[in-house]
Structure 1
Amino acid sequence: MKNKITFVLSLLFGLLFINGGLNKFLNYMPMPENLPEKMLKAMAAFTEIGWLMPLVGIVEVVGGLLIIIPRTRALGALVIFPIMVGIVLTNIVQDSSGLPFAGVLSVILIWIMLQNKEKYAPLF
């Protein structure tokens, strides 16, 4: 049962990041209209740096794919971790309306990492 829950959460988590990464290239999801001015300025600054958003998009797609595949899930969690830190910090500093969703995603990522902690032991 635990493996099924992990797979479903990993699948949804991975698909969410693949969708977010592909959107950085294809721009098929419109930007919300009610974003605060502070967030709009931050997003404009991120897009002004020409290489940043494509890099984040590639990392999101690759990390999402790695998390979906059970054998590479531990590596995928490491790849997604800095992106998740950026998402949480952006929601804390810029606009806290998305913080509950970012918190749920963080809990899922930490759970995936804790399930694979033996694979991370050589890193420490």
Structure 2
Amino acid sequence: MKQKITFVLSLLFGLFFINAGLNKFFNYMPMPEKMPEEMMKAMGGIMAIGWLMPLIAVAEIGSGLLIIFPKTRALGAIIVFPVMVGIVLTNTVTDTSGLPMTLPFVAILLWIIYDNRAKYMPMINE
């Protein structure tokens, strides 16, 4: 039962990040009309660095694909972790309206990392 729940959560998590990464390339989801000024300034700064959004998109797509498959889930979780830290910081410092949607994804990522903790031990013990 635990494996089925983990698979479903990992599948949803992976698909969410694949969608978010693809949206950075193809812009098929509309931006909210009323965004706070701080968020607009932050997004403008990120967009000014021309290589940053494609890098984030590739990390999101790649980690989303890796998280879906149990054999590569631990690697995908490590790759997406810095992206998730940025999402959490953006949603706590700049605009808190996205925080209720962000927290379940943080919980899923932490569960995936905890569930694969044995795979990370060789990195920590050496």
TM-score bin (small chain)? over 0.9
Q: Could you tell me how far 1:103 is from its partner in structure 2?
A: 1.1
Q: Could you tell me how far 1:122 is from its partner in structure 2?
A: 1.0
Which digits, 9 at most, give the CA deviation of each residue in 1:34-82, with x for residues without a partner? 2101001111111111000000000000000000011000000000100
Aligned residues: 124
Uncovered stretches (5+) of structure 2, i.e. residues with no partner:
none
TM-score by length of structure 2 reads 0.97
Q: Which amino acid aligns with 1:28?
A: Y
TM-score by length of structure 1 reads 0.98
- Measure the CA separation in 2 of the matches of 1:31 and 1:40: 11
**SS state at 1:35 partner:** coil
What is the aligned-residue RMSD (CA, Å)? 0.6
% identical equivalent positions:
64
Q: Which amino acid aligns with 2:62?
A: V
Residue 47 in structure 1 maps to residue 53 in structure 2:
no
Q: Greater CA deviation, 26-35 or 60-69? A: 26-35
Q: Give runs of ≥4 in structure 1 deviating > 2 Å.
A: none
Uncovered stretches (5+) of structure 1, i.e. residues with no partner:
none
